[in-house]
Amino acid sequence: MDTLHHITISNYVTLNKVVVDSINLSYQLFGKPLYTAPVVLVNHALTGNSNVSGDDGWWSQLVGDDKVIDTKRYTVLAFNIPGNGYDGFLIENYKDFVAKDIAQLFLTGLEKLSLSGVFAIIGGSLGGGIAWEMAVLKPDITTHLIPVAADWKSTDWLIANCQIQEQFLINSNQPVHDARMHAMLTYRTPESFNKRFCRSLNVDQGVFNVESWLLHHGKKLQERFQLSSYKLMNQLLRTIAISKEDENPIKILSTIKSQITIIAVDSDLFFPANENKETFKELKLKKSNVSYNEINSIDGHDAFFIEYDQLSTIINGIFKPEIKIKQ
């Protein structure tokens, strides 16, 4: 694992007009040394972090030596969303921030690293939403924009689920544990649950296996994730919005210079595929260099880090352009 590096951003004014004296923006690097190869920026999801490659990397099946994002060929850069707790930096006043703030902080980080642009920005879930926001704020920041299982907006459905999450986080005796249990229902699908558990019982615990599985995930996150971090990530998730209500979002998205590769999951309950299809259809009328791709899976939103073969096939032509993709 590459060690954590740190950038201090002073006197940051949030979109909500709050001045924050100092923000720690930490990051990790993988692969080729910085400034010696094309840079791929990886944006992490809600409970993720900058550790995207290597033995403990959460996207190590996608990022690494001889993987589709080949660390023998690229410099891979991953920022921590400030306040995720991975670097010890926490943000208590989570309502001060929205997703666009994180996009701006990441852009500031690139600027402080003397990177005027990168080869690709790829992000899953919340990370994909932040990638959309970055590209709108700076339309020429990247050659390739790859939002995966994400959207440029928080839908009413997503906002509703985030509101339920916040109620758990504020009111529960085990806030992170219980919020995570509920979240797992939106990350998977009824079909995936039924196929996996088949109404089977955990005899030792005296509960259904699906109940045991949910309790396990709640306990696991509770042990490694801080309450203030979860509150902040949930706040960011509900505030993804590249435009204001009176602005035409497709017109704004069409200003992005990048090749846009939209990747949805056909069974995603969190960021539904039909929302991404609609974006593609409307954006394609204004911008030729945009494509829509779909991961087929019964596992819902979580398929973006389960169906690695499908995801690798979709992006292979971007990161290994000399390899022909079979039609």
What's the pLDDT tens digit per position in 164-190? 999 999 999 999 999 999 999 999 999
Cβ atoms of 286 and 170 closer than 8 Å: no
Q: Where are the domains of the chain?
A: 5-154+242-319, 157-236
What per-residue confidence (pLDDT) applies to 323? 54
* 327 has a pLDDT exceeding 60: no
Arithmetic mean of pLDDT over the chain: 95
User: What does the DSSP 8-state code read for residue 108?
Assistant: H
Contact call for residues 261 and 291 (beta carbons, < 8 A): yes
Amino acid at 141: I
Q: Which two tokens stand for residue 164?
A: 């339920």
Q: Any idea what DSSP says for residue 45?
A: -
Token pair of 50 as six digits: 């900058």
Given this model, what pLDDT does residue 230 score? 98
Classify 21 as helix, strand or coil.
strand
pLDDT value at residue 243: 83
Stretch 25-48: mean pLDDT: 97
Task: Compute the chain's Rg from CA coordinates.
Answer: 19
Mean pLDDT in residue range 77-94: 97
pTM: 0.95
Span 157-236 CATH architecture: Orthogonal Bundle (1.10)
Tell me the pLDDT band of 87, cut-offs 50, 70 and 90. very high
Residue 1's pLDDT is what? 46
- Check for a shared fold between 5-154+242-319 and 157-236: no
In this predicted structure, which of 52-56, 67-71, 297-301 has the lowest mean pLDDT? 52-56
5-154+242-319 sits in which CATH class? alpha beta
pLDDT digits (tens, 9 = 90+) for 103-115: 999 999 999 999 9
